[in-house]
Amino acid sequence: MERDEQQRPGTNDRFRRFFSNATEHPDEIPRKELFFFGLGLMGQNEVYNMAGTHWWVHFCTNVLKLKPETVGKMTGAVTLFDAFNDPVAGALIDRFRFKDGRKLLPWIKYTSPFVGILAFLLFVNWNISTPANTLLYCTVVYLLWDVFYSFQDVALWGVTAAISPNSGQRARATQWADVGATLSFAVTGMLMPMLSGDGAFGLTQQQVYFAFAIVMCLGGGFQSMFATLTTERVRSLPEEEVTAGGGKKKKSIFNGIGVLRYNHVLLLFLVSEVLRNFTPYVNDIYIFQQMTFNFMGKEIPAPVVLTIVGSITGPLGILPKFFATKIAGRVGGMKRVLFIGSIAGIVTKVIQFTAGIKTLPVFVLMLALDLLYQLPQSIYLIAQRTMISDSVEYVEWKTGQRTEGITMSVRNLTGKAASAVQRMVQGYCLKFLQFNANNVELQQPQNAHFLKWVWPIYKLGPALGIVFALVPLLLIRYPDSLKQKVETEMAERRALAEEMEAAVEG
């Protein structure tokens, strides 16, 4: 018994083993590497959750006092700037190689500090004299932030395709990345309760945002650099083409865009993402910021209830992410995961709309129902990103060109374009609802028209969007038999290329 206790690994041994580069199989990615990759994605998403989502929109309307429809037009327009910015970033990343032969990781290293600093500047209220000048400042800083973020984001998610030639290992990397990205929401989730009522600790909305900008934007920007501690195991050389005279020249940086016509998986995901956002939308901060419930004679702000229930259901919703690859195998693959997640989303939102939020018990029930939605939905993005990473391998098998950069940039472009559409839709929805930001500061309720229509828009709009998004997903065709064939033949090609390169060097 004493001997068994000595042989059993202690906590320190398990800890050291987790943070070592030791693996059981030659093609396995070390857990240490996956941990730092997930930590880097967590930092990147801390920045994005502040600057790239509804929090900055809320900051513009409630702190800078810009009109909702103006903010909707501005944020939508500058996001559509990615129609040029993202593909250029992806094409440059695909064509350029650093001296050490790496394609993606140096971009993360050089862009991350700028991403954090510029995001922080978005949440500084300089008390500029006129709304027009305030709008100009927001637009310029956001455009600069978006340029650096595009290169960082394309490189980060491109690593999921270049980190291993094995689809199973790529799925593991995507799983860890998504876990890290999701954990960032736990930190941002503390922001809403601090904005309710008079604000936490007596702070104004402006002061709360400034504090979070330091932690989430500046901190997250530098935290994302942990992702550079990974390894690019799949490398490619810049392609060349033969000219009419028999000479060789480098292909155009935009050559990869034309190659995307072979990537039907990516194209169908893009259509799905755009369709999802052509529906009415209002973010929860506009509903719950002023809402309170009476519990045993005490007024409890809805954001506080959200945080309490979320602290319980949130971790439970994250749990499936750690078993995403196993779950996908049990239900019949990543595509089946997408279908189950979509159906769960539609059913849950319809039930929540019917239940409403008039009393505290019903409100808590509504939040608990979110857990049922989160369980399959929590691995929805893992399935999507895994399939897109696999599609990079398919395109290289089909065309001979490796396109992590342009693939991820076009995916990001579509996501941002869809977000731009969503922001513009939200701006007009808030105008339709006659939302008044001054009522928040004065602690007065919104008008009757707002209270009547905000709940149907909040719940049924996204449900309709999921229905629209599901149709293209059902058309995806990339069976496991073809995937196995692609991986086998690509392994043979790489082995032959290495032999030829060794012969030339010899």
pLDDT of residue 248: 47
pLDDT of residue 200: 61
Cα separation values, 457 from 122, 315, 374, 422, 445, Å: 28, 27, 20, 13, 18
Q: How far apart are CA 99 and CA 207, in angstroms?
A: 45
Beta strand 248-250 with 240-242 is antiparallel
pLDDT of residue 367: 74
- Structure letter (DSSP) for residue 228: G
Q: Give 301's strand partners.
A: 292
Q: How far apart are CA 107 and CA 86, in angstroms?
A: 14
Q: How far apart are CA 329 and CA 336, in angstroms?
A: 10
Q: Which residues of the chain have pLDDT under 50?
A: 1-8, 237-238, 241-249
Nearest-CA neighbor of 254 among 107, 417, 410? 410
pLDDT of residue 22: 61
**Would you kindly state where each structural domain of the chain is located, as residue ranges?**
29-234+259-505
Beta strand 240-242 with 292-295 is unpaired
pLDDT of residue 9: 52
The CATH code of the domain at 29-234+259-505 is 1.20.1250.20
pLDDT by residue (tens digit) across 285-338? 787 777 777 777 777 777 777 777 666 666 676 778 888 888 888 888 888 888
Sign of CA dihedral 63, 66, 69, 71: negative
pLDDT of residue 246: 44
Written as one string, the DSSP assignment of 330-396 is HHTSHHHHHHHHHHHHHHHHHHHHHH-SSSHHHHHHHHHHHHHHHHHHTTHHHHHHHHHHHHHHHHH
